Amino acid sequence: MQNSKLLLFLTLFSFLSHIATASPVPPKKNPVDQQIVLDKRYLNYADFTVQGVNVGGWLVLEPYINPSLFEAFRTNDDNDDGIPVDEYHYCEALGQEEATSRLQAHWSSWYTEADFEQMAAVGLNMVRIPIGYWAFQTLDTDPYVTGYQESYFDQAIEWCAKYGLKVWVDLHGAAGSQNGFDNSGLRDSYEFLNQDNLQVTTSVIQYLLKKYSAESYQDVVIGIELINEPLGPVLDMDGLKQYYLDGYDYLRNTLQSDQIVIIHDAFESYHYWDDFLTLSDGNWGVVVDHHHYQVFSNGELERDIDTHVEVACEWGSGVLTESHWTVAGEWAAALTDCAKWVNGVGFGARYDGSYYKSSTDTSSYIGSCDGIDDFTTWDDTRKANSRKYIEAQLDAFELRGGWIIWCWKTETSLEWDLQRLIYNGLFPQPLSDRQYPNQCNFST
């Protein structure tokens, strides 16, 4: 496999170099020698297969990862009325003083040095660390706690450096929200590209680009993601592309930095970004981040395990001819959406038919969610299917740049918790171990 990956990369690099040579473009302002940059930074992604994990539910709250923080608001057992649906409303409900107290306690305990030591011990080499814009700057109307998260973020980077882990800096939430998901900080809002919101988000990403592209961070930070999961189908894609272009221009021409730029695919199909910020146009050091799940629609949940595996394999083969280097920056072991609040506070689960968001957005029963978080109740078929699905994804994503699983730990959810998956023998240890080899029939 290592030889094939090397051959694949050399072929890709040769092809891109040929294009760059055959189709010269006018020099950019403040140009940096492309070959030096590619050798120093971009080729870092060929030196090793990214095998990483996301640090979820820490500096950006997600109710399904840390339900205890949100359960404190429960007033009845019949529904989720009155429970904040995201970090914005969590802080709004508590007020600044109490929200600061509770969040400081969470930030100082949910992730510690021991977590990063364990990540390295199980063979991981990369950590993607989400953080919201509000950690650095807020709108006048924002209820968020601000100004504390950066010190925890920097401490995490120091721990990564100590244990030999590389880092992606991930701007996970934009002002006004880029996707309407609770993981953006503000659910059911899509105002990212509004002028005032965009100005704040741009100010924050420029701060992150400047700070974490500095020489003092270059050995550990090997990518900065301009924004997590912008929801392409509801956004102005021209506006999003301009945001990407502005971030890239600021990094390359203002800062004259060779840091890697990560752009999320905005849930667009393969090859959508093939002609955007490409080496053939004189741009370099751009990695496309693809996120993959099969649990957020009835159709996906109804698939049998063979179909789940087949789709996972296609995730790997689908990127092989894309013009950018790619990494699967989020994926999961989950074959159900039974984890409490994974669809959002108050919405239920599609798998057991309890999901209801609106009269036109409901679900039908597929199977029971009973025991989904209790491994002792899992039968051999469920265990085997979980392991098969995980291994298929590992094989697929390692065809190209690699993978960063979501996420390291949760309070209660087995399907979304890498620590629990490893402990229960569902996730390979060592990472190269395969109980179900060659599911994808990739040539090696």
Q: Which of 87, 225, 322, 330 is catalytic?
A: 330
Q: Which of 62, 87, 229, 391 is catalytic?
A: 229
250: nearest Cα among 212, 205, 309, 215? 205
Within 8 A by CB and 6+ apart from 203, the residues are 137
CA 220-221-222 angle, to 5 degrees, is 105
Question: Does the annotation mark 415 as catalytic?
Answer: no
Question: Does the annotation mark 113 as catalytic?
Answer: no
Which H, E and C letters describe the chain, residue by residue?
A: CHHHHHHHHHHHHHHHHHHHHHCCCCCCCCCCCHHHHHHHHHCHHHHCCEEEEECCCCCCCCCCCCHHHHHCCCCCCCCCCCCCCCHHHHHHHHCHHHHHHHHHHHHHHHCCHHHHHHHHHCCCCEEEEEEEHHHCCCCCCCCCCCCCHHHHHHHHHHHHHHCCCEEEEEEEECCCCCCCCHHHCCCCCCCCCCHHHHHHHHHHHHHHHHHHCCHHHCCCEEEEECCCCCCHHHCCHHHHHHHHHHHHHHHHHHCCCCCCEEEECCCCCCCCCCCCCCHHHCCCCEEEEEEECCCCCHHHHCCCHHHHHHHHHHHHHCCCCCCCEEEEEEECCCCCCCCCCCCCCCCCCCCCCCCEEECCEECCCCCCCCCCCCHHHCCHHHHHHHHHHHHHHHHHHCCCCEEEECCCCCCCCCCCCHHHHHHCCCCCCCCCCCCCCCCCCCCC
41 neighbors 222 (Cβ within 8 angstroms):
yes
Structure tokens at 15: 């092809």
Active site residues: 229, 330
